[in-house]
Each structure stands twice: as structure tokens, then as C-alpha cells.
Amino acid sequence: MDFIIKFAQAHETFRIPEIQALAMIENVPIEIIEYNEASPICIVRLPSADAAKRLIRRSIMAQSIHELWGSGKDLKELNESVKATSSQEWPRYKSSSFKFVFDSYQGSRSKPSQLSVINNFRFLPFEGPIIMKNPDEIFTILEVWPWNSVPMGIEHPDHYHLGRFIADSARDIVLKFDLKKRKYISTTSMDSELALITANIALAAPGKIFYDPFAGTGSFPIACAHFGAMSWGSDIDGRSIRGQGGGKSLKGNFGQYDIESLLGDVFAADVTNSPMRRRRIWDGIVCDPPYGVREGLRVLGLKDPEKTPWLVERGIKHGMEFDYVPPKKPYSFMAILDDILIFAVETLVDNGRLSFWMPTANEEDQQIPAPTHPSLQIRLTPTGSRRLITYRRIPDSEVSTEALEAYSDRKLISEIGTTANELNPFRRGYFRKFQSDS
């Protein structure tokens, strides 16, 4: 069966990746029949209407899904398509109450014009009453108009679709998790819509455990927990996790949404000095690593142990005390990306996903290359100045031995330099507006 997915007009590059991820979560076979990123309409093939409901029920990028009854460039072609495509379905709805609604993209119609189009379907053998509130069936006329059609006085759309409404998506939860309504946030809290999309693409679901090594105020753990995953997190700055008291903390945010039972735990650590054993336990890792723009990127450790032996001694004597604050050293942005991949390879289950955000620049020659690993299959999803990079943990039996050996023998990322700019090419380029060093 063919269905129409009506997407929201936002983050177009995430539409298909999210739908494909949801198809995996729901175990629904899907085939993309027709899609153009310039339009919010996508035609897909699914096994049943029930499968369509399951596919769309937690989507953030979609708005609704409809059983496709016909398509055409004009009303005559649409009529012929409806008769050829859906006539076998008509008897099922002969006595049902119903109504017609319009969903127009880049254009609109007056009420008389809408009525004229609806009357075009008088050949449908419906005998049930027309009810405008809560009818048994809703038939949607989806129109795609030329750009700027209203001020140009264009009278007809480029394309029509007729669909029987199946279900709405979960897009309304974006408002529920809006950062403006959240009790505890920081300047680096991830936008709620993007956090929810990331959780979907990373396949967060009941029965899975997810981890964010840069948890901050909890945007990603909250999104994953909303979709039923048990969420864990850590951050190099324990203060961002503990918050301000009075419910303004990461745990307080979980309480605000009544999902405390899905918070495993949070702790202070950095991804290069994690207290966790390197075992294959995580179904997913989602995060937004620090870029080191506001301040230099740092990890736990000593910049020069020989020059500060007293710091070494202090750590030995007081490292286990509750109020001990460990020292930090400058770190390479490129190295932390590499470390994230190594951590994921060592801790993700087979086919588990790693999804993280990284910055990009406008000029092609200033793109920061996405890190790679033989045990991870990569997919990039760009959006504006950043990219969501998603990896699948390849089972060990499918990983090339030669590729692993070559990776082990690779030249390690250089740590030459001591200042934030020397260690972080993105930070250096950011403040130079990505102009060449020459």
C-alpha cells in the first residue's frame, strides 16, 4: 500500500533519516517511492495502515500520514488516479461519516474554491453523513502550489494528492520539551526539537540503555528517556549536573517531565578518563561534544606534571575526597573526536548507534573531516553550521582485519601546542572567520 507522509517545514535533511530510523525501531519495511527535499510530500510504500500508524507515532519531522487514494497534475488526472487506485476501497467507507479538508503548500484557496474542488469527488459512492467534528473518516486534499503563488495570482496548484487520513505524528511534544519551559538550562543546552530527532535517529526505545558523555543539563538523556530508553550521563563539570538546587538540576529536569524512573545515573568524568569499564553495554551514545570556542577545550589531567609536582601530590592525598576538584589540561578538538569513536567501539553493542554533533564551516576547504573507524559505519546529516554524524557499530565478525590493523598503525593525532588555538583548529578558524592562515 502507498501512503503520503506530510513533513514539517524544518530541518529538511533530517526527514528521510528519521523515517528510516523509525522504520527500524518499529520493524516496518519501507520503500521511498517519491520524494523531493523542496516539497513536504513524501510517497512511501508500507505493508498496512497499522504499520503506517506505528511508523509515524513518534516522528518529530513528520506531521501526518495518509493512505494514498490518487495523485495528479490537475483535477481530471487526479480523478482518473483515484478511480484506478482506490476503487476497491470505496465499499468499506460507504456508510461512514466523513469530511474533506485541505492541506496546501505554498498556496491557498477561498472557501468557494475549496467547495468546488470537493464537489469534484461527487463520484465517490459515500452515503454516510458529512460531519465536521470527529467524523469516522477524513479525506485530505494535499496541494503543492508554485512558489510565490499567492502574490503572483496563480489559480491552480502544480500537483494534487487525495489521501485518507491515518494518523498524526508526535510533533506536538516539541512544545512540551521547549527549553523556554524547562526549569534548568545553560547556554549549551541542545534545542529540544534537535535532541528528539537525534534520539530517534540513534534508535532510542524501551528496553535500551543510552549514554551521553557530555550530559550538561540533560537535553539528550531527557529526549532518549522520553522514547523509553534508560538514560545515563556524565560531564567533566559536575556543577552542570548538580545545578542550582531547588529542582534546578539535571535530575530536576527529569522530574519536571515525570521520567525519573528512566534516569539511570549521572556522574562527573570526561570521556578520556571515564571510570566505566570498557564493556559492550550501550545500545546508543548521543552527545554534543564541546567545540572549545567559548573557552579552550579541556580534559582531566596535568599540563606539565614535572612543573607542578604539588598537584600530583595533592591528587594522591585528596583525590578520593568529596570536595576534591581535579586539575584540567588543554586538549585537541580533533583528538576528542577520535577518542569518542574509540570509546563507542569499545562500549556499543552490535548495531548500536553513536550520534554526535560537530561544527562545520562555509568554505569547502575548511570542512572538518568526520572521523572514521573500521568498526563504525558512518552517515552524515548536515544542517546549517553543524552536522549530525551517526555511526552503526559493525559486528566484529564483519569488520575487516586489514582495516583494523591499518587503523592501529595509523599516525596518532598531533598534540603539538599548548594554547587553546593551537590545539583546536575549529576554534582558531572560528575567530579568524575561517580565513586561510597564509
Range among 220-234, 324-338, 379-393 with highest mean pLDDT value: 220-234
b/e map 235-262, b = 16+ CB within 10 Å: bbbeebbbbeeeebbbbbbbebeebeeb
b/e map 395-408, b = 16+ CB within 10 Å: eeeebeeeeeeebe
Q: What pLDDT, on a 0 to 100 scale, did the predictor assign at position 361? A: 60
Q: Three cell numbers at 163?
A: 489521501
The count of residues in the chain is 438
Q: What pLDDT, on a 0 to 100 scale, did the predictor assign at position 365? A: 47
Neighbours of 96 (CB within 10 A): 14
Q: What pLDDT, on a 0 to 100 scale, did the predictor assign at position 321? A: 75
Q: Quick one: what percent of the chain has pLDDT higher than 90?
A: 66
| Stretch among 191-200, 319-328, 375-384, 415-424 having the lowest mean pLDDT | 415-424
pLDDT band at residue 103 using 50, 70 and 90 as cut-offs: very high
pLDDT of 142 higher than 80: yes
Q: What pLDDT, on a 0 to 100 scale, did the predictor assign at position 367? A: 65
Strand-strand pairing, 263-268 and 230-235: parallel
Q: Which residue has the higher pLDDT, 89 or 324?
A: 89
* pLDDT, tens only, 26-68: 999 999 999 999 899 999 999 999 999 999 999 999 999 999 9
Contact 187, 165 (CB under 8 A): no
What mean pLDDT do residues 220-237 have?
Answer: 96
Q: How far apart are CA 293 and CA 421, in angstroms?
A: 9
What DSSP character marks residue 253?
Answer: H
Q: What pLDDT, on a 0 to 100 scale, did the predictor assign at position 43? A: 98
Range among 180-189, 240-249, 415-424 with highest mean pLDDT value: 180-189
What mean pLDDT do residues 186-195 have?
Answer: 93
* pLDDT, tens only, 383-427: 767 889 999 999 999 999 999 999 888 766 544 445 545 545 555
Q: What pLDDT, on a 0 to 100 scale, did the predictor assign at position 247? A: 84
List phi, psi (to 5°) of 75. Answer: -65, -35
* pLDDT, tens only, 277-298: 899 999 999 999 887 555 557 7
pLDDT of 210 higher than 50: yes
Q: What pLDDT, on a 0 to 100 scale, did the predictor assign at position 189? A: 93
Neighbours of 116 (CB within 10 A): 12
Domains of the chain from N-terminus onward: 2-170 (3.30.2130.30), 174-297+332-433 (3.40.50.150)
Q: How far apart are CA 430 and CA 420, in angstroms?
A: 12
